[in-house]
């Protein structure tokens, strides 16, 4: 019965914030959007954690709030996992959503994957990534500095019936992915096949 489904990508965290996003920042990434969804019954939520097996320990007491949100029937965790990380592609969450949120500008691969599939994607630059090419995206429409700004954008997106430029990547996506046809694996395979054929023929590397 929701009007807008939001997917949120959790790129993992570490107890020592010198080496990775700290747990405290990741807890807030869950808490802020969960509280909004609990207040607003028009919103549904999908979480896509990169390391679902460590989610409970990483977000601590916020995990109870997450379970409460899931009990409403309007929140889902894509928690399939392996010994290493989630086997679920980010775009699966993206395609099941109306709008996506990536909470880390310095590693925007999940965001790019979903934007390439034509989904509106919001970015939150909380750590500060001044040299990222993603800074070319419009501030206040697609790129934000905190959750308060981002939640305001989600509300605007919801009110507009999704007819808005919120989450629009059109100014950059052609540069990042000029194909957007779902055939990147085929192109990579063809390229690697050409390399292998050249090596098998003992051709010079420059010729290959």
Q: Considering the chain, what is the average pLDDT of its residues?
A: 92
The model's pTM is: 0.88
Q: How high is the pLDDT of residue 96?
A: 97
Q: How high is the pLDDT of residue 42?
A: 96
Q: How high is the pLDDT of residue 198?
A: 97
CA distance 63 to 69: 10
E-state strands within 25-130: 43-49, 75-77, 99-102, 121-124
Q: How high is the pLDDT of residue 67?
A: 97
- The terminus-to-terminus CA distance of the chain in angstroms comes to 56
Report pLDDT digits (tens) over 127-171: 888 899 999 999 999 999 999 999 999 999 999 988 899 999 998
Task: Region of 182 please: left (phi>0), alpha (psi -120 to 50) or beta.
Answer: left
Would you state the structure tokens that stand for residue 192, as one six-digit string?
């690697």
Q: How high is the pLDDT of residue 130?
A: 87
**Residues 45/21, Cβ–Cβ less than 8 Å:** no
Report pLDDT digits (tens) over 67-82: 999 999 999 999 998 8
Q: How high is the pLDDT of residue 60?
A: 94
CA distance 80 to 51: 9
For helices 23-39 and 62-70, the axis angle rounded to 10 degrees is 30
Query: What is the mean predicted confidence (pLDDT) over 86-114?
Result: 92
Q: How high is the pLDDT of residue 154?
A: 96
Report pLDDT digits (tens) over 17-57: 777 777 888 899 999 999 999 999 999 999 999 999 999 99
Model confidence band, residue 11 (pLDDT cutoffs 50, 70, 90): confident
């Amino acid at each position: 019965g929701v009007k807008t489904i939001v997917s949120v990508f959790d790129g993992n965290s570490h107890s020592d914030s010198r080496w990775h996003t700290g747990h405290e920042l990741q807890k807030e990434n869950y808490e802020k959007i969960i509280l909004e969804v609990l207040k607003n019954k028009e919103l549904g939520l999908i979480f896509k954690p990169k390391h679902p097996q460590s989610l409970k320990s990483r977000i601590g007491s916020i995990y109870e709030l997450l379970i409460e949100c899931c009990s409403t029937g309007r929140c889902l965790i894509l928690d399939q996992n392996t010994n290493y990380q989630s086997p679920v592609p980010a775009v699966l969450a993206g395609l099941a959503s109306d709008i996506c949120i990536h909470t880390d500008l310095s590693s925007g691969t999940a965001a790019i994957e979903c934007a390439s599939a034509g989904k509106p994607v919001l970015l939150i630059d909380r750590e500060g990534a001044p040299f990222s090419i993603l800074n070319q995206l419009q501030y206040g429409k697609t790129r934000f500095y905190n959750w308060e700004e981002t939640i305001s954008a989600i509300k605007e997106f919801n009110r507009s019936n999704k007819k808005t430029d919120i989450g629009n990547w059109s100014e950059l996506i052609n540069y990042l992915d000029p194909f957007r046809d779902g055939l990147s694996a085929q192109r990579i395979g063809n390229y690697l096949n050409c390399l292998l054929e050249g090596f098998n023929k003992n051709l010079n590397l420059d010729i290959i």
